[in-house]
Amino acid sequence: MTLLESGCTRNYEQQDPVGLYFPSVKAKALTGEGIRLPDHFRGKLTLLLIGYIQDSQFDVDRWILGLKQLETPVSIAEIPTIQGLFPRMISSKIDKGMRDGIPKEDWGIVFTVYKDANKIAQFLGTTKPLNVRSVLIDEEGKILWFHDKGYSADKAIELNKYIRSLPSDKY
């Protein structure tokens, strides 16, 4: 367990947020742009892939690859959600490390949450932090679909079918 995964975080029970609105939080893109979630995605169906620890990147990558292979008509955003004062203090170093490991053309879909990370953690739950929280929000930020048990090809197919069942003006 790394320093970023240890005593700087609080644990919250898993939640089922379907039907609720995603909380308003501040985030920063790897491009340097400051944004507010979910407002940044207003007007379009978006899948938020929320990870709490560095090792969840593998899960994120599988979700992205699976949905791209299925040609799922959805915008995708990676949301590293890093709780604690210490990570906020070294956020520039953490962001630099992410930029070093992520191709520049993908920086615009990575939005890191530091200060408001606890809001997301409490809203979605943090047990099993390795598993990415896959959160499909509608054009207003309402959660339509949620999965927090790790990547599953069957769940990617389920999500793809669900999205395609929505009116085409939604995506």
Per-residue pLDDT of the chain (171 residues; tens, 9 = 90+): 333 444 346 789 999 999 999 999 999 999 989 999 999 999 999 999 999 998 889 999 999 999 999 999 999 999 999 876 655 666 677 777 676 778 888 888 999 999 999 999 999 999 888 899 999 999 999 999 999 999 999 999 999 999 999 998 877
What's at 143, amino acid-wise?
I
Per DSSP, 141 falls in state S
30 within a domain of the structure (yes/no): yes
Stated pTM of the model: 0.88
Tokens of 50: 């929320």
Nearest to 119 by CA among 5, 18, 24: 24
Q: Which 3 state secondary structure label does DSSP give 115? A: coil
Cα separation of 57 and 75, whole Å? 18
152 within a domain of the structure (yes/no): no
171 within a domain of the structure (yes/no): no
5 within a domain of the structure (yes/no): no
Cα separation of 98 and 92, whole Å? 10
* Predicted local distance difference test score (pLDDT) of residue 1: 33
* Predicted local distance difference test score (pLDDT) of residue 133: 97
Indicate the number of domains in the chain.
1
Tokens of 38: 């979910």
46 within a domain of the structure (yes/no): yes
150 within a domain of the structure (yes/no): no
164 within a domain of the structure (yes/no): no
Structural domain containing residue 113: 20-145
Nearest to 158 by CA among 41, 50, 149: 149
Cα separation of 26 and 121, whole Å? 14
CATH of the domain at 101: 3.40.30.10
102 within a domain of the structure (yes/no): yes
